[in-house]
């Protein structure tokens, strides 16, 4: 019989709200995020050490401003020269991969978790997870929301306040709700 974690990794509906293994993993992650968010901003070495322990993969040069929140941590991969400003939230039920030279403005969210439209399924605690991929050399403006299953190509700029519901091709300036390509860069 498949575990809820295995169902999640396969993109199937799974129960994150009542599964002891997933609840325990999220609790460990929340404790690590708490430790990170309460570390002195000037203690760069300790902050990097905590994030290296929390995240699935990091480059050598990265900075995530506090506060930062995620659900599991181990599903997040960041490339070289990564920067996320304050209040970054990553619901990493599925993998979230960021390339090199990615810059994220304040108050952005990356959400791999989604919920069924069917009321009974949703109310029973079922959800699904789809990976998010952000390419190299991407700048994401303030208060951007990236939804499950989205890929943002290399060399893109996503305008502030955008809600990214579909893939954005490489070399694009995209803005809006829903986010749309307005021109090539």
Q: Please enumerate in sequence order all residues whose Cβ is within 8 A of that of 129, keeping only pairs 6 or more positions apart, or say none.
A: 8, 11, 14, 93, 94, 112, 113, 114, 148
Selected catalytic residue, list 5, 115, 130, 180: 115
Cα separation, 29 vs 37, in Å, equals: 12
Joined tokens for residue 62:
């990265």
- Reply yes or no on whether 115 is catalytic: yes
Of 63, 73, 62, 78, the C-alpha closest to 31 is 73
Cα separation, 171 vs 174, in Å, equals: 10
The length of the chain in residues reads 185
Of 48, 46, 51, 4, the C-alpha closest to 25 is 4
Measured CA distances, 182 to 53, 105, 169 (Å): 39, 20, 11
Residue with tokens 């403006």: 141
| Residues annotated catalytic, as ranges | 115
């Amino acid at each position: 019989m498949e575990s809820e974690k295995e169902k999640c990794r396969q993109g199937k509906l799974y129960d994150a709200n009542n599964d002891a293994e997933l609840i325990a993993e999220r609790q460990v992650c929340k404790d690590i995020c708490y430790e990170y968010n309460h570390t002195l901003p000037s203690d760069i070495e300790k902050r990097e050490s905590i994030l290296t322990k929390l995240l699935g993969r990091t480059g050598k040069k990265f900075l995530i401003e506090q506060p930062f929140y995620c659900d599991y941590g181990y599903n997040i991969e960041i490339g070289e020269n990564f920067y996320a400003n304050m209040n970054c939230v990553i619901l990493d039920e599925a993998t979230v991969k960021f390339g090199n030279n990615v810059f994220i403005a304040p108050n952005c969210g990356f959400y791999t978790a989604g919920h069924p439209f069917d009321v009974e399924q949703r109310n029973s605690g079922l959800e699904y997870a789809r990976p998010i991929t952000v390419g190299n050399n991407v700048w994401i403006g303030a208060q951007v929301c990236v939804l499950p299953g989205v890929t943002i190509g290399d060399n893109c700029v996503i305008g502030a306040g955008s809600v990214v519901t579909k893939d954005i091709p490489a070399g694009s300036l995209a803005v809006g709700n829903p986010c749309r390509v307005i021109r090539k860069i």
